[in-house]
A = this chain, B = another copy of it.
Amino acid sequence: MYGIRNLREKLDAGALGRQMYELLERLYPICRSITGEGFRETQRIVAEHVRGLELRGVPSGTQCFDWIVPKEWNIRDAYVKAPSGEKVIDFRKSNLHVLNYSVPVRAKLTLAELDKHLYTLPEQPSWIPYRTSYYKEDWGFCLAHDDYRKLEDGVYEVVIDSTLEDGDLNYGECLLLGESSREVLLSCHACHPSLCNDNLSGIVVSTFLAKLLADTPTRYSHRFVWIPGGIGSVVWMSQNQERLWRIAHGLVLTCLGDPGNFTYKKSRRGDAEIDRAVQNVLRQTGDDFAVLEFSPYGYDERNYGSQKFDLPVGSLTRSTHEGFAGYHSSADDLSLVRPEALGDSLLTYLAVLDVLENNGRYRNRIPEAEPQLGRRGLYGMQGGLQKRERLEMALLWVMNFSDGEHSLLEISDRSGYSFELISDAAGKLLEHGLLERWERDDG
């Protein structure tokens, strides 16, 4: 089951990083929201890369657990004209300027009246904040505090040319079948407007993972979803309640383009196989990384880790939503994201998927004492050396601890040798009949 490993070894991460960055540049200007045309347009572009991606729709008003699918929001234009006639706030310059989900407005207002609908970041006066009002009908504009301070008294013309009507909540979904019906869930939110690291980086890494895995034979099936954040995971879980037991492992993808080190937020279970797999891979990188315990706040892992379903879904990001300065503002722009970081994130995800693919439990067929590896060509014939080859050591570890209980991942963790080396060792021992497959969680 080395499809992903072979794929990974042949990849040109530099070239892929640049391709992902190009896709991200193309998606950047689109005004996305949790519903509407911007979301669908994004998914159509993703579908150019992902064969078999299906765009699903759930009608407004559908009850999903405790939530009701909201009306669909679309926007064509929005601006504020100063008393001088100048457009001082213009949706066409940045879609962040509009409070996302603003109801339509056409009005003339004094500055004092307008002021109640304006949002700024006084501590970061040059950034436009990103604000939403999905669940309460409202309208508003977001702008740089520097620009806000320049507004003069007088009557302003306010236009928001939007609609809020019955329609659909959409999400993109793609299932790549493997040998087993057990699935690895790869989920990203795709509902933020022009924000690069939070949202777009996850979308493009997810897209390229799906593209690459489409032609790769795997053990697990891989399910990709591009959903509106928060409500999207509620809706998807609600629509798929009968099938959720198939999710063997999962990750939430976002914030994968900044140059920071990796952060892993554990699944609610805390010691699920995905939790150990990600940490195993990150340890092998040699770089620092952070591991956070699960908390019921953050991205969609908060819903996947609900009490009832408690899906083993963690979140592997670079910076976290609390960890980068430009979060949810115009500072989360194209300059924050780097092609190399995207490429490295892609490779790291593939390494994690490879661990999941090849993990398993085996049984030593000669459990009484060490076998004579030398006569099988698996161990150097000269004795007395202070150190043995890494593979020789890995063979000893796999033999000793393959008792049907320790998985290869656990043997890798315990020995400190990489999962790749440990699984290679297991492969050689299988070939020589020294090991037998015990249990593979193929569902």
Chain A, residues 28-59, CB within 8 Å of chain B (1/0): the string is 00000000000000000000000000000000
Could you tell me if A233 and B369 are in contact, using CB atoms closer than 8 angstroms?
Answer: yes
Chain B nearest CB, measured from A411 CB (Å): 10
The residue in A130, A369, A401 that gathers the most chain B C-beta atoms within 10 A of its C-beta is: A369
Interface status of A334 (Cβ within 8 A of chain B): no
Query: Nearest B residue to A304 by beta-carbon distance?
Result: B369
Question: Is A338's beta carbon under 8 Å from chain B?
Answer: no
- Inter-subunit contact B375/A135 (CB<8 Å): yes
Establish whether residues A366 and B133, one from each chain, have CB atoms under 8 Å apart when the complex forms: no
Cα–Cα distance between A369 and B364 once the two chains are bound (Å): 43
Report B-chain residues with C-beta under 8 Å of the C-beta of A85.
none
Give chain B nearest CB distance to A412 CB in angstroms.
Answer: 13
Q: How far is the CB of A201 from chain B (nearest CB, A)?
A: 18
Let me know if B400 and A369 touch, CB within 8 A: no
- Decide: B400 and A296 in contact? CB cutoff 8 A: yes
A434 shortest CB reach to chain B, Å:
9
In the complex, are the beta carbons of B396 and A296 less than 8 A apart? yes
**Given A296-B400, A328-B386, are A381 and B133 also a contact pair (CB < 8 Å)?**
yes
Q: Is the CB of A328 within 8 A of B375?
A: no
Instruction: Tell me which of B136, B296, B414 contacts A381 (CB under 8 A).
Output: B136
Given contacts A366-B66, A375-B135, contact A296 B399 (CB under 8 A): yes
A308 touches B386 (CB 8 A): no
Q: Mark A353-369, 1 if CB is under 8 A from B, else 0.
A: 00000000000101111
Q: Are B369 and A237 in contact (CB under 8 A)?
A: yes
**Bound-complex Cα distance A383 to B135 (A):** 9
A129 lies within 8 A of chain B by Cβ? yes
Minimum CB–CB distance for A206 against chain B, Å: 21
List B contacts of A402 (CB < 8 A). Answer: 307
A374 part of interface (Cβ distance < 8 Å): yes
CA distance A30 to B435 in the complex (A): 41
A residues 314-368 near B (Cβ < 8 Å) are 321-322, 327-328, 364, 366-368
Contact of A134 with B296 in the complex, beta carbons under 8 Å: no
> Are B302 and A65 in contact, with the CB atoms below 8 A?
no
Partner of A369, one of B134, B297, B303, B397: B303
Q: Are B307 and A132 interface neighbours, CB within 8 A? A: no
Give complex CA distance A13, B305 in Å. 43
A3 contacts partner chain B, Cβ-Cβ < 8 Å: no
Contact assessment for A307 and B364 in the assembled complex, using a CB-CB cutoff below 8 Å: yes
Chain B residues within 8 Å of A295, by CB: 397, 415
Instruction: Report yes or no: B382 in contact with A131, Cβ–Cβ below 8 A.
Output: yes
Q: Which residue of B lies closest to A395 (CB)?
A: B296
Chain B residues, CB < 8 A from A307: 364, 367, 399-403
A268 on the B face (CB < 8 A): yes
Contact status B371-A66, CB under 8 Å: yes
- B contact residues around A383 at 8 Å (CB): 100, 131-134
Chain B residues with CB under 8 Å of A393's CB are 297
Looking across the interface, which residue of chain B has its beta carbon closest to that of A400?
A: B296
Decide yes or no whether A94 CB sits under 8 A from chain B: no
B131 touches A297 (CB 8 A): no
Q: Name A residues whose Cβ lies closer than 8 Å to a Cβ of B.
A: 65-67, 100, 129-136, 138, 230, 233-234, 237-238, 241, 268, 293, 295-297, 302-303, 305-309, 321-322, 327-328, 364, 366-372, 374-375, 381-388, 393, 396-397, 399-403, 414-415
22 contacts between A and B (CB under 8 A): A66-B366, A66-B369, A67-B369, A100-B383, A130-B384, A131-B385, A132-B384, A133-B383, A135-B381, A136-B374, A241-B368, A295-B415, A296-B396, A296-B401, A297-B393, A302-B370, A306-B368, A307-B367, A307-B401, A307-B403, A308-B368, A321-B386
- Considering the complex of A and B, which 9 residue pairs feature the smallest CB-CB distances, nearest first? A296-B400, A132-B383, A308-B367, A136-B381, A307-B367, A66-B371, A296-B396, A131-B384, A303-B369
Additional 9 contacts, C-beta under 8 A, given A296-B400, A306-B400: A65-B368, A67-B369, A129-B384, A132-B383, A135-B375, A296-B396, A307-B367, A307-B399, A308-B367
